[in-house]
A and B are shown apart, each in its own frame.
Chain A
């Protein structure tokens, strides 16, 4: 949902980078095939990461093919051929995005609310199809978003209670695995990654939320009325590192085959890069200044 979870490119081996690209393109093609070309606009790194985890943990043989697309109309690119992991990730992208739009209708006012209403209207068919394909995931997302709404309404000052519903939402994607033991490990891995994403996003949005008065667990937890100072930033980095450490502890137990290097790179280098950017600049993507902290 945020694009925080991605590898540090320079540190990947060339074949690993190509595999990551192929999975990313594969997810895009899967979204196009299953839901139509408009939905490919929702493509993001977090679900590519999910697809990679599922591919690796399932021991599926991933085959590649060459395909052209709108982004590369002349030269065909290496694309991961459609498989169950990509299908699941595409369904999850659609389900979570639709709920994010519904959330926008509740939170926004005026023209923006109208805009979200139009989006929700356009997206309803895709969402219905996705929810039919993955009813368990859809139910988990709805339940956890209800909990999140209550946490926001009560203006809970705890980072962990606020992060829990989103982390659980992501962890629900582990039910795509048939093997009990691996599902248990993946649930932990996704839970800790989800906690990291949620807290990092809340930190990213502190100044904007303070201006608009929206709910922000980081601001409430540390009683902030401006951007976090050095001490608060250090405490936040540490709590993020603890989640990353737990995600790694789970990852070490999960056989991921060819994808091991990419996932290690994401957890050891990609996530700390996010925390460092937040500590040093106060935001992850400079261009995104002004965006609100969504509840997703």
Chain B
């Protein structure tokens, strides 16, 4: 496939335009936007395609600024579990068997922080964000020192924030977008990524 088409630019586009198109797309399909999302695999494919196209164009235009896009490994739920039962449920969630995982959790008598966290993860995957908030908050209040639980709650909070940032840049775009709008939303998105431990703009 034509790499220029993948990035949605013409062959005569300047390096600056290509970079901007690439960053816009990378921001759209960034793994952070698809954490706990059943469509994450498709977004990953898309991201690979964009990276490949961008690398290709960069190489083709040798001499232009070489910049590689570092794709971070976002934290998945592979971290250590307290008990083998929880580990089994985690793998059920990862494989998408949400009803099975929920049933297994409901059968357990004890409601530990991890129990709440896993219920929250199931709700998150289903798109049940109100329930997810409830369970993640319970997990964090039971075990405030656990980084995984706090990260999950932060990620949930940043969803709505991301939406507002994108919405502003979208509204600005149709109303005649200034370069200032683009920069401020990129910086904003970068800040969001950084507070999650990622990075969108490597230089700042």
User: Which residues does A use to contact B, with CB under 8 Å?
Assistant: 11, 158-161, 163-164, 167, 181, 184-185, 188, 191-192, 195, 221, 238-239, 241-246, 248-250, 252-253, 264-265, 268-269, 272
Contact = CB atoms under 8 A, between A and B. Distances in A.
Contacts of A163: 128
A164 B126 CA distance: 9
Given A160-B123, A239-B133, A272-B167, A249 B33 contact: yes
A160 B163 contact: no
Interface residues of B, number: 30
A191 B125 CA distance: 12
A160 B167 contact: no
A252 to B, nearest CB: 5
A253 B123 contact: no
Given A269-B171, A272-B167, A160 B39 contact: no
Contacts of B128: 160-161, 163-164, 195
B182 to A, nearest CB: 16
B163 A253 contact: no
B164 interface: yes
B167 A249 contact: no
A253 B127 contact: no
A241 B163 CA distance: 7
Contact of A160 (B28, B130, B171): B130
A18 B139 CA distance: 50
B80 to A, nearest CB: 28
Chain A's interface: helix, strand, loop or mixed, by majority? helix
A268 B37 contact: no
A243 B127 contact: yes
B159 interface: yes
8 contacts: A11-B174, A160-B129, A160-B131, A163-B128, A195-B127, A241-B160, A241-B164, A242-B156
A238 B157 CA distance: 9
Given A164-B128, A268-B167, A268-B170, A245 B162 contact: yes
Contacts of A184: 38-39, 42
Chain B's interface: helix, strand, loop or mixed, by majority? helix
A202 B166 CA distance: 27
Nearest to B128: A160
A222 to B, nearest CB: 10
Contacts of B84: none
A250 B39 contact: yes
Given A249-B34, A249-B37, A272-B167, A239 B42 contact: no
Contact of B39 (A159, A185, A239, A243): A185
Contacts of A248: 163, 166
Interface string B22-44: 00000011000110011100110
Contact of A242 (B29, B34, B159): B159
Contact of A243 (B129, B131, B166): B129
Contacts of A252: 28-29, 43
Contact of A269 (B34, B126, B167): B167
Given A238-B160, A252-B29, A268-B167, A158 B42 contact: no
Contacts of B162: 245
B36 to A, nearest CB: 10
A242 B163 contact: yes
Interface in B122-168: 123, 126-131, 133, 156, 159-160, 162-164, 166-167
B163 A239 contact: no
A192 B37 CA distance: 12
A11 B171 contact: yes
Given A159-B130, A242-B160, A248-B166, 20 more contacts: A160-B131, A164-B126, A164-B128, A167-B127, A184-B39, A184-B42, A188-B37, A195-B127, A195-B128, A221-B130, A241-B160, A243-B127, A244-B163, A245-B159, A245-B160, A245-B163, A249-B33, A253-B29, A268-B171, A269-B170
B19 interface: no
Contacts of B166: 248, 268
Contact of A239 (B38, B130, B175): B130
A273 to B, nearest CB: 11
A239 B129 contact: yes
Nearest to A188: B39
Q: Which 6 A-B pairs have the closest CB atoms?
A: A160-B128, A245-B163, A242-B129, A241-B160, A268-B170, A159-B130
A146 B29 CA distance: 37
A248 B40 CA distance: 13
A254 B24 CA distance: 17
